[in-house]
Amino acid sequence: MQIGVNAWVWTSPLTTEELENLAPQVKEMGFDWIEVPLEDLADMDHKRGAEIVKEFDLGVSGCVAMGPDRDLIHPDKAIRDNGMAYVKGAIKAVNDLGGNNLVGPLYSAVGRTWQSTAEERVRDTDLLVENLSDLSKYAADYDVMLCVEPLNRFETSFINLAWQAIDVVDRVDHPNCQIMLDTFHMNIEEKSLGNAIRAVGPRLHHVHACENDRGAPGTGNIPWDEVAKALNDINYDGPVVIESFTAKVKSIARAAAIWRALAPSQDALAEDGLKFLRQLLN
Catalytic residues: 149, 243
C-alpha span between 175 and 137 (Å, rounded): 9
Q: Report CA torsion sign: 164, 183, 249, 45.
A: negative
Closest C-alpha to 230, from 190, 205, 282, 195? 195
Label each residue of 82-133 as H, E or C.
HHHHHHHHHHHHHHHHCCCEEEECCCCCCCCCCCCCHHHHHHHHHHHHHHHH
Cβ contacts of 270 within 8 Å, gap of 6 or more: 5, 9, 10, 26, 29, 31, 216, 242
DSSP-based helix, strand, coil % in the chain, nearest 5: 50, 15, 40
Instruction: Give the CB-side neighbour count of residue 207, counting CA atoms within 13 A.
Output: 28
C-alpha span between 80 and 236 (Å, rounded): 33
Distance of CA 166 to the CA centre of its chain: 16
Cβ contacts of 123 within 8 Å, gap of 6 or more: none
Q: For residue 84, with 0-12 CB atoms within 10 Å meaning exposed, 13-18 middle and 19 or more buried, which class applies? A: middle
